[in-house]
């Protein structure tokens, strides 16, 4: 596998052991339309993988397959050593039940483009909902941890605010805290800054940068090439449902090997 080579991010070598995500020949169809075509990809623990590409290139679909918001139609996908969505018995793959899928999802945390905070709950209630309702943690403990997380994203003073009372950037930071509260092994970001006013992008990227520095494994679908250049250990360029090229940001973003990548990057920058 190509993923066996060490990947460098700044000065640190981040590749280690088994990949946390492994996709082999992954495909996804929506009726006649093929959103993903034979995707093979390894993501290693501690890596920050940025997926870039034009809209409709399948990058969000790939992310949504990782936490099973979309069902893979062909190929195989492993997350944290477990086959996603299926159980192997002999030479057959049996589909998992809904509760088994829900349990598999606990390995990942997801941050959405449109935040998707629960509007009928305060920021704090949003963050403790998963730990209390799904992980069955004692409420007092969950509240204490949620307050720490909200402080980490700079919003401890907004714990009792409803989402509607927060700016887009603040909502997205609460959403990150909500995902982190489940102690995921992998964080997925689906264009986390695309729905934000330009002046609010920075505060969200700052939180993500801190998270990356703390060693969290992250897969980030983004149009923020500056963020990718600075934080990513690897950049994946996708187009028309395929991975066109993969490499360290210094390579992909400055001297891309494929003309399609070059076209996309110059279009985004200009």
Interface with another protein (CB under 8 A): 67-69, 98-99, 102-103, 105-106, 108-110, 112, 114, 116-122, 129-130, 133-135, 161-166, 168, 175, 178-179, 182
CB of 267 to another protein, least distance (A): 28
Asked whether 141 and 128 are in contact (CB, 8 A), the reply is no
CB nearer to another protein: give 188 or 235.
Answer: 188
CB nearer to another protein: give 135 or 268.
Answer: 135
CB of 90 to another protein, least distance (A): 27
Q: In a 3-state reduction of DSSP, which class is residue 14?
A: coil
Kindly provide the residue ranges of all beta strands, DSSP E only, lying in the chain, ordered along the sequence: 8-9, 12-13, 19-30, 33-44, 48-52, 74-79, 82-83, 86-89, 92-95, 108-111, 186-190, 217-221, 234-239, 242-247
CB nearer to another protein: give 141 or 263.
Answer: 141
CB nearer to another protein: give 2 or 99.
Answer: 99
CB of 181 to another protein, least distance (A): 8
CB nearer to another protein: give 24 or 121.
Answer: 121
DSSP 8-state secondary structure symbol assigned to residue 89 = E
How far apart are alpha carbons 214 and 216 in whole angstroms? 6
Number of Cα atoms under 13 Å in the Cβ half of residue 68: 23
CB of 55 to another protein, least distance (A): 18
CB nearer to another protein: give 187 or 253.
Answer: 187
CB of 213 to another protein, least distance (A): 24
Residue 269, C-beta contacts closer than 8 angstroms, at least 6 positions apart:
225
Residue 17, C-beta contacts closer than 8 angstroms, at least 6 positions apart:
44, 45
Specify whether the backbone of 149 is left (phi greater than 0), alpha (psi in -120 to 50) or beta: alpha
CB of 7 to another protein, least distance (A): 27
């Amino acid at each position: 596998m190509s993923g066996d080579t060490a990947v460098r991010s700044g000065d640190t070598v981040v590749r280690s052991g088994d990949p946390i995500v492994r996709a082999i020949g992954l495909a996804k169809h929506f009726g006649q339309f093929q959103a993903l075509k034979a995707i093979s990809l390894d993501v290693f623990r501690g890596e920050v993988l940025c997926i870039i590409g034009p809209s409709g290139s399948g990058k969000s679909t790939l992310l949504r397959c990782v936490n099973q918001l979309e069902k893979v139609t062909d190929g195989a996908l492993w997350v944290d050593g477990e086959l996603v969505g299926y159980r192997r018995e002999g030479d057959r793959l049996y589909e998992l039940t809904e509760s088994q899928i829900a349990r598999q999802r606990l390995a990942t945390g997801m941050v959405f483009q449109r935040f998707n905070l629960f509007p009928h709950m305060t920021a704090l209630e949003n963050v403790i909902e998963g730990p209390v309702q799904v992980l069955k943690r004692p409420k007092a403990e969950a509240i204490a941890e949620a307050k720490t997380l909200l402080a980490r994203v700079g919003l401890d003073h907004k714990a009792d605010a409803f989402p509607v009372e927060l700016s887009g950037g603040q909502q997205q930071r609460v959403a990150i805290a909500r995902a982190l509260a489940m102690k995921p092994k992998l964080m997925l970001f689906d264009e986390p800054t695309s729905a934000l006013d330009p002046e609010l992008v920075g505060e969200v990227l700052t939180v993500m940068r801190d998270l990356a520095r703390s060693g969290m494994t992250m897969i980030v679908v983004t149009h923020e090439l500056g963020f990718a250049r600075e934080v990513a250990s690897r950049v994946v360029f996708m187009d028309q449902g395929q991975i066109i090229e993969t490499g360290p940001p210094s390579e992909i973003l400055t001297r891309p090997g494929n003309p399609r990548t070059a076209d996309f990057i110059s279009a985004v920058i200009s």
